[in-house]
Amino acid sequence: MTLSLTNLRAVSGAYQFWVVGRDTLNLDVPAAASGTIMQFYLKYSLDANGDTIRDPVSGDPIRVTDSIEVSATPTNVYQGTDDTTMTSVRITLSTTDNAAAPNPATYHAVVVTLESSSGATAPSAARFLWRRIGVGGSGAMSFGNFGGSDVLNTASPRDYVFGGRGTGFGGVRGDEVSIDFTAMSRPPVGFFYRGFLRAVGNDNVQAAVIIDTLRAAYSTDSSLSRVSLYDADVNPVLPGIVNMQITKAQIRNCITGVNACQNTLALSGEKPFAPYPVFVLMLDPKGSSASVPWRSVTAGGDLPEYLK
């Protein structure tokens, strides 16, 4: 069985792979599924002299796909990557390569989990990618919260399939940047929202600045106002959470102290926000770096024109 996955960011813990079956009591029984791992990336196409080949019409450099072997030895641990040239990772689960590996054909589902450390002997609650291979066979995996194996259906009422929903409105006021959100999808277990400002067409470290992790909306009750929603994936009593929705939330930060603002943006100049005219809201795995806004954009927009 082959898993072709994208957007697995580098994490301090690890991603792990499992197959799930059921015992005689009809309870789920997960087993670690080990395989070889290959990463695919884009590189510049070069001519015989080592010069970059360019498109004859646009003049843009031509890039081609190449691969690198991450692990030739079967493993069920992968730590992801923040290399933006990487396009996908392929995990080949084979009992031929690994005699100790469970045979996927005898299980109902394949699951990818996010673990706080590598080498977990049982899957955590962060079962964020899955496919019910027993009834659905090959095809796209679902992203969200896996509801358990189901021997009759490709989908289960216990599943939570994440969808990027909600609306946002905000901008800059003096030394403050603030964006308010309503009716957002709650993150899958193991994930959280955070906001960045970044330069146009660039997502490297030098071209972005983190604003903050998503927080609850302002409230006159200080115990509820702007509380961190980092654990909105697992804590249903945080302000604004109703079932699988975050009703109201906010991303806000300042360069200097304004109305009890955090005051942690290290920007300066006459137009301090001008180098970063684009706001993006990211859905990131816990344990990922705050330095790079990668590909998991769920919302975004331009700052006011006068700032650019």
The secondary structure of the chain, three-state, reads CEEEECCCCCECCEEEEEEEEECCCCCEEEEECCEEEEEEEEEECECCCCCECECCCCCCECEEEEEEEEEEEEECEECCCCCCCEEEEEEEECCCCCCCCCCHHHCCEEEEEEECCCCCCCCCCCEEEEECHHHHCCCCCEEEECCCCCCCCCCCCCCEECCCCCEEEEEEECCEEEEEEEEEECCCCCEEEEEEEECCCCCCHHHEEEEEECEECCCCCCCCCCCECCCCCCCCCCCCEECCEEEEEEEEEECCCCCCCCCCCCCCCCCCCCCCCEEEEEEEECCECCCCCCCCEEEEEECCHHHC
**pLDDT of 234 strictly over 70:** yes
Q: pLDDT at position 98, please?
A: 67
**pLDDT of 122 strictly over 80:** yes
Q: pLDDT at position 26, please?
A: 83
**pLDDT of 100 strictly over 70:** no
Q: Which of 29-38, 101-110, 158-167, 239-248 has the lowest mean pLDDT?
A: 101-110
Label residues 42-62 b or e (16+ Cβ within 10 Å = b): eeeeeeeeeeeeeeeeeeeee
Is pLDDT larger for residue 148 or for residue 202?
A: 148
**pLDDT of 245 strictly over 90:** yes
Q: pLDDT at position 150, please?
A: 87
Mean pLDDT of 100-114: 85
**pLDDT of 251 strictly over 90:** yes
Q: pLDDT at position 118, please?
A: 87
Is pLDDT larger for residue 66 or for residue 144?
A: 144
Label residues 262-272 b or e (16+ Cβ within 10 Å = b): eeebebeeeeb
Q: pLDDT at position 143, please?
A: 97
Q: pLDDT at position 12, please?
A: 95
Mean pLDDT of 278-291: 90
Judged on CB neighbours under 10 Å (0-12, 13-18, 19+), 242 is exposed
Q: pLDDT at position 308, please?
A: 46
**pLDDT of 306 strictly over 60:** no
pLDDT tens for each residue of 154-175? 899 999 999 988 999 988 888 8
- 79 sits in the region (left: phi over 0; alpha: psi -120 to 50; else beta) called alpha
Chain position carrying tokens 């990557």:
81
Q: What percent of the chain has pLDDT over 90?
A: 56
Band of residue 205 on the pLDDT scale cut at 50, 70, 90: very low
Tokens of 144: 């969200």
How far is the first Cα of the chain from the last one, in angstroms, to the nearest whole number?
Answer: 49
Greatest CA separation found in the chain?
70
**pLDDT of 2 strictly over 80:** yes
Mean pLDDT of 75-90: 91
Mean pLDDT of 184-210: 83
CA-closest candidate to residue 240, choices 257, 221, 254: 221
Q: What separation in angstroms does the CA of 9 have from each of 19, 126, 195?
A: 22, 15, 16
Beta partners for residue 166, in sequence order:
none
Q: What angle do CA 228, 13, 162 make, to 5 degrees?
A: 55
Residues 6 or more apart whose Cβ sits within 8 Å of residue 99: none
Q: Which of 139-148, 149-158, 228-237 has the lowest mean pLDDT?
A: 149-158
Mean pLDDT of 269-295: 86
pLDDT tens for each residue of 30-68? 999 999 999 999 888 888 888 888 888 888 888 888 899
Mean pLDDT of 2-19: 94
Q: pLDDT at position 40, please?
A: 95
> In whole angstroms, what is the distance from residue 227 CA to residue 121 CA?
34
Q: pLDDT at position 120, please?
A: 93
What's the mean pLDDT when you consider all of the chain? Answer: 89
